[in-house]
């Protein structure tokens, strides 16, 4: 596929677990996406950018080859695609699509560590990652590659064990399998092509990356405002999760208390609010942050 001159391209999953959140990221970065008649390509109305909507397996190659300038893909898929050739660069983890590639076994297999997999058959959709992991553990096993429904392989006697993605563990449990080893921790990542864009588009590319980074940073971040007794200021600011240096302001007509404003990079739980109150904080407000730069 050749590139259209004068336009950037971002590869996103067409449908599946990452599709919606990938589109959200693009939209939150200020790109107005127009769903057109063409299902493969969505145009961005306010910038010279197109979204290429494809199977996630194709995203690493499209970005590595420079067909797309940016891509959103699971790190597991990127790692599986690694082949010694030019590679897409990971710019940042995106905080969604979190899952773990795990080795799991049926109760019938007496598992006592990776050596129990020696000469066994293991079904997976990630043969390269599994091969590297087995090699790193000095285990020699037979890898059976399956596109999907990996969890049923032990029941069908197709394999002794499996290596598949797990998030809640419900699928493993439904299939009577026990998670044994973590092979690869994954989440969606933003990737960039090793090929530079046309010089006129470099600035736009940099700005989109910076905006996306701002979107990711603001996710989960909260703006906290409260009033604190001066005497408890140190203890109260220490309780604010992931806050750098809070802003401390006088409260008119009160010498004993101050107003504290802070950006908390981590979730602010009810437990934290209760502890703040116990230290004498009052009028506590926790507000979402829309953008951050």
Residues that bind Mg ion (CB under 5 A): 56-57
Instruction: Establish if 5 lies at the interface with ligand PRP (CB under 6 A).
Output: no
Residue range at the interface with ligand PRP (CB under 6 A); choices 23-31, 65-73, 161-169, 199-207: 161-169
Residue range at the interface with ligand PRP (CB under 6 A); choices 65-73, 138-146, 166-174, 251-259: 166-174
Instruction: Establish if 165 lies at the interface with ligand ATP (CB under 6 A).
Output: yes
Instruction: Establish if 16 lies at the interface with ligand ATP (CB under 6 A).
Output: yes
Contact map string, positions 15 to 34, toward ligand PRP, x by CB under 6 A? --x-----------------
CA distance 165 to 77: 11
Q: Do the Cβ atoms of 169 and 179 come closer than 8 Å?
A: yes
Residue range at the interface with ligand PRP (CB under 6 A); choices 72-80, 163-171, 211-219, 254-262: 163-171
Q: Which two tokens stand for residue 135?
A: 């090699």
Instruction: Establish if 148 lies at the interface with ligand PRP (CB under 6 A).
Output: yes
Q: Which two tokens stand for residue 20?
A: 């919606």
> Residue 97 Cβ, how far from ligand PRP at the closest point, in Å?
10
Contact map string, positions 67 to 86, toward ligand ATP, x by CB under 6 A? -------x-xx---------
Select the residue interacting with ligand ATP from 27, 32, 55, 203 (CB under 6 A): 55
């Amino acid at each position: 596929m050749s590139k259209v001159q004068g336009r950037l391209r971002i590869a996103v999953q067409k449908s599946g677990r990452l599709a919606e959140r990938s589109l959200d990221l693009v939209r939150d970065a200020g790109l107005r996406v127009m769903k057109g008649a063409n299902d493969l390509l969505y145009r961005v109305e306010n910038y010279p950018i197109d979204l290429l909507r494809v199977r996630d397996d194709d995203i690493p190659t499209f970005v590595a080859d420079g067909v797309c300038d940016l891509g959103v893909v699971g790190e597991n898929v990127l790692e599986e695609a690694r082949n010694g050739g030019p590679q897409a660069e990971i710019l940042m983890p995106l905080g969604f699509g979190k899952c773990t590639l795990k080795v799991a076994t049926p109760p019938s297999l007496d598992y006592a560590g990776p050596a129990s997999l020696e000469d066994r058959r293991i079904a997976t959709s990630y043969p390269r990652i599994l091969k590297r992991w087995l090699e790193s553990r000095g285990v020699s096993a037979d890898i059976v590659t399956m596109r999907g429904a990996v969890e049923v392989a032990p029941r069908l006697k197709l394999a002794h064990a499996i290596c598949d993605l797990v998030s809640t563990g419900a699928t493993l449990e439904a299939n009577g399998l026990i998670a044994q080893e973590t092979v690869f921790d994954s989440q969606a990542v933003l990737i960039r092509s090793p090929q530079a864009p046309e010089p006129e588009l470099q600035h736009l590319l940099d700005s989109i990356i910076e905006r996306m980074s701002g979107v990711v940073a603001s996710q989960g971040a909260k703006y906290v405002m409260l009033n604190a007794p001066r005497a408890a200021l140190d203890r109260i600011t220490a309780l604010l999760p992931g806050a750098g240096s809070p802003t401390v302001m006088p409260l008119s007509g009160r010498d004993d208390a101050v107003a504290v404003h802070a950006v908390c990079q981590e979730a602010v739980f009810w437990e934290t609010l209760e502890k703040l109150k116990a230290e004498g904080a009052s009028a506590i407000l926790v507000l979402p942050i829309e953008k951050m730069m």
